């Protein structure tokens, strides 16, 4: 087990597009949650020996008070051999970042921050129900860098009509100038139960057409590649050497651990998701029998499909020999339709890897649907 994810389901406000497991909560509930997270961590101690990457995400981990953040970091330092940790990410809202927080994170081994920037455009941020300014983002990065945390990811969203690539380009240009090492850029996914979903029903928001969104995506890829960002996963770009080690554990379909309400983990071909209800989560930990929303043992077919769906998201693709070594079957025998996809130029076989060519990345879903 090389990776652990820690879920903090609290936010100080709710964004209009968000469908994650999160809530706005009182301080006492947050304190209780941190205590139970630590109990869950201790319950899973036998899995912690070889951990190399830690990711604290949410929700908004930075919305916790400094005292609570420190309590959690201390527990992680006590239960995990920090000398083995190569990447320790903490998700933060730019408005929450201050010098004391940055110094505390660095002191406990955090070496990567994922900033929820989404955009620096005022109108776009208003639609997303997020309220920071370019200056706040710039200062947050400066503070983190001064504290010693140099590896900074910016999450960005595109596809919010009526935007054009010009607006996205301005965001990209600015975050690069501020010194980010990694950019994750996702198109707006419309979820029914969100505020944006409601606006669509009321005809107050018009989703962007797919082909316009695909054009913006292609321009983003070109823009970042021209600025020497390595495009290593369909939505992820980084400066050389800054690939996210933690996320690569997911994309390489490896085992990973997670703690927290609503968190999912994958051990020995079984996918577990902790219950998304705090009362039941606390109850499960008290009885030392965790309450799950889901425990699914994957069949061999499902494991192979996951390997393809996750692996093809990486620009390098899926290693054919590693696939046959892992599953005992030749990739073409298992998926004869790969030959058709090659004929259609949706897949390339370079003898070692099978992958989606750069110029067809915008058609990724068309490729992946074959494995479902």
Nearer to ligand SF4, 182 or 320 (CB): 182
What count of residues does the chain have? 372
DSSP string, 67-81: HHHHHHHHHHHHHS-
Q: Site map for ligand SF4, 21-40, x if CB under 6 A?
A: -x------------------
User: C-beta of 40: minimal distance to ligand SF4 in Å?
Assistant: 20
Separation CA 357–CA 338 (nearest Å): 14
317 belongs to the binding site for ligand SF4 (CB under 6 A): no
Distance CA 305, CA 307 (A): 5
Q: Is 57 in the site for ligand SF4 (CB under 6 A)?
A: no
Cα separation of 47 and 308, whole Å?
26
**Is position 20 an interface residue for ligand SF4 (rule: CB under 6 A)?**
yes
Residue nearest to ligand SF4 (CB): 18
Q: Distances from the Cα of 303 to the Cαs of 51, 142, 162, 252, 322, in angstroms? A: 23, 43, 40, 12, 14
Q: Is residue 196 involved in binding ligand SF4 (CB under 6 A)? A: no
* Candidate segments 38-46, 58-66, 95-103, 294-302, binder of ligand SF4 by CB under 6 A: 58-66
- Examine residue 61 and tell whether it contacts ligand SF4 (CB under 6 A): no
Exactly one of 61, 116, 134, 311 binds ligand SF4 (CB under 6 A); which one?
A: 116
User: What Å distances lie between residue 230 and 118, 221, 273, 285, 314, CA to CA?
Assistant: 20, 10, 32, 42, 11
Q: What token pair was written down for 66?
A: 């400094």
Stretch that binds ligand SF4, among 13-21, 82-90, 156-164, 311-319 (CB under 6 A): 13-21
Figure out which of the listed residues 8, 34, 60, 247 binds ligand SF4, where binding follows CB under 6 A.
60
186 binds ligand SF4 (CB under 6 A): no
Straight-line distance from the first to the last Cα atom of the chain, in angstroms, rounded to the nearest whole number = 27
117 touching ligand SF4, by CB under 6 A = no
């Amino acid at each position: 087990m090389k990776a652990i994810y820690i879920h903090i389901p609290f936010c100080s406000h709710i964004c209009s597009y968000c469908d994650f497991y999160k809530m706005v909560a009182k301080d006492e509930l947050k304190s209780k949650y941190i205590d139970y997270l630590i109990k869950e961590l201790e319950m899973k101690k036998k899995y912690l020996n070889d951990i190399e990457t830690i990711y604290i995400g949410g929700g908004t981990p930075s919305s916790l008070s400094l005292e609570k953040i420190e309590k959690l970091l201390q527990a992680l330092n006590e239960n995990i051999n920090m000398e083995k940790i190569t990447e320790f990410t903490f998700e933060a809202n730019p408005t929450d970042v201050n010098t004391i927080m940055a110094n505390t994170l660095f002191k406990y081994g955090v070496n990567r921050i994922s900033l929820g920037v989404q955009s620096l455009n005022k109108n776009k941020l208003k639609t997303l129900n997020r309220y920071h300014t370019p200056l706040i983002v710039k200062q947050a990065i400066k503070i983190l860098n001064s504290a010693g945390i140099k590896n900074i990811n910016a999450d960005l969203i595109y596809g919010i009509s009526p935007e054009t690539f010009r607006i996205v380009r301005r965001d990209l240009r600015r975050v690069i100038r501020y010194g980010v090492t990694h950019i994750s850029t996702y198109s707006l996914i419309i979820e029914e139960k969100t505020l944006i979903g409601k606006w669509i029903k009321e005809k107050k928001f018009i989703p962007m057409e797919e082909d316009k969104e695909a054009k913006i995506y292609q321009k983003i890829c070109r823009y970042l590649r021209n600025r020497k960002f390595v495009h290593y996963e369909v939505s992820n770009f980084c400066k050389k050497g800054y690939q996210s080690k933690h996320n690569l554990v997911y994309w390489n379909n490896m085992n990973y651990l997670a703690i927290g309400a609503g968190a999912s983990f994958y051990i020995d071909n079984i996918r577990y998701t902790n219950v998304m209800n705090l009362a039941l989560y606390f109850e499960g930990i008290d009885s030392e029998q965790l309450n799950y929303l889901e425990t699914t043992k994957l069949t061999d077919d499902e494991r192979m499909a996951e390997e393809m769906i996750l692996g093809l998201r990486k620009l390098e693709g899926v290693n054919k020999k590693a696939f046959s070594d892992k599953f005992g079957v030749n990739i073409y025998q298992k998926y004869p339709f790969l030959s058709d996809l090659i004929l259609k130029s949706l897949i390339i076989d370079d003898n070692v890897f099978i992958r989606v060519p750069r110029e067809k990345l915008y058609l990724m879903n068309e490729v992946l649907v074959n494995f479902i």
